[in-house]
Chain A
Amino acid sequence: SQKIEQNSEALNIQEGKTATLTCNYTNYSPAYLQWYRQDPGRGPVFLLLIRENEKEKRKERLKVTFDTTLKQSLFHITASQPADSATYLCALEGNTGKLIFGQGTTLQVKP
C-alpha cells in the first residue's frame, strides 16, 4: 500500500546547528513533493515545492532534496533558531493526483 513516513519522534537540536528532517515514501512515483510548516493551533504554511527532475531546491536557510531512487526527501534548516521550532509536514502527489500528507515531524530548537 502507499505510505509516507516521517519520523514521529521529535527532533531536538541546539541553536545554530543544521536540522535535517526525513520524508520517505513507498509505492508512489510523485512528480512533485511539498514541505509545510505547522505551528500549534495554526494551519500549515507552504514552504517549498520540488519537482522530480530537481535534485535540490533552496530558499534562504531552507534546502530540500528529492531522491526518486531512494524514494526520499530531506529537508534541511541551516543555522537553526528557536523560532524554527514547529512541526514540518511533507506532502506529495499521490497516484490519483491528490495531495497526500505525512504525519509530520516536530522540531525543537533549544537556545
Chain B
Amino acid sequence: ETGVTQTPRHLVMGMTNKKSLKCEQHLGHNAMYWYKQSAKKPLELMFVYNFKEQTENNSVPSRFSPECPNSSHLFLHLHTLQPEDSALYLCASSQDLGGQGNQPQHFGDGTRLSIL
C-alpha cells in the first residue's frame, strides 16, 4: 500500500462522544500535518509534526488532541465536539519540514466528520 491512508472515511458522532481519526503514510516522510476543510473555505492548518515532535498548534481548541507515535502514524483524538466542527479532516505528509512552500504535500482522502 502506498501514499497516505486515512480511516475512517466517514464518521458521525454526538457531541459527547470520543472518537479518533487515524492517518498512516507509507512514503518515508518525516513531517505530518492535520488540516480542516470546511465548505467554501480554504484548508486550515491545525497541527504539524516533524520527526514525531509537534512543531505547530494553530490555536486549535483542546477538544482536538493530536498524537504522533512515530513518523508513519498520526492520530487526531476528538472529544466533546461542536456542530461547527463538522468538516473534512485531511492528513498530509511531506519529506521534511524545511520551508513548507518548497515541499510538495501528499494528502490522504480525509475523514468526513459530522457532529449531531
Contact = CB atoms under 8 A, between A and B. Distances in A.
A101 B36 CA distance: 12
Interface in A9-58: 30-34, 41-46, 49, 51
Contact of A42 (B40, B102, B104, B109): B109
A98 B90 contact: no
A99 B56 CA distance: 12
Given A42-B109, A43-B108, A43-B110, A32 B42 contact: no
B101 A93 contact: yes
Interface majority SS (helix, strand, loop, mixed), chain A: strand
A4 interface: yes
A89 interface: yes
A99 B42 contact: no
23 contacts: A4-B42, A31-B99, A31-B101, A31-B102, A32-B101, A32-B102, A33-B101, A43-B109, A44-B43, A44-B105, A44-B107, A45-B107, A46-B104, A46-B105, A46-B106, A89-B42, A89-B43, A93-B102, A97-B100, A98-B100, A103-B40, A103-B42, A104-B42
Interface of B: 4, 6, 40-43, 45, 48, 56, 90, 92, 99-110, 112
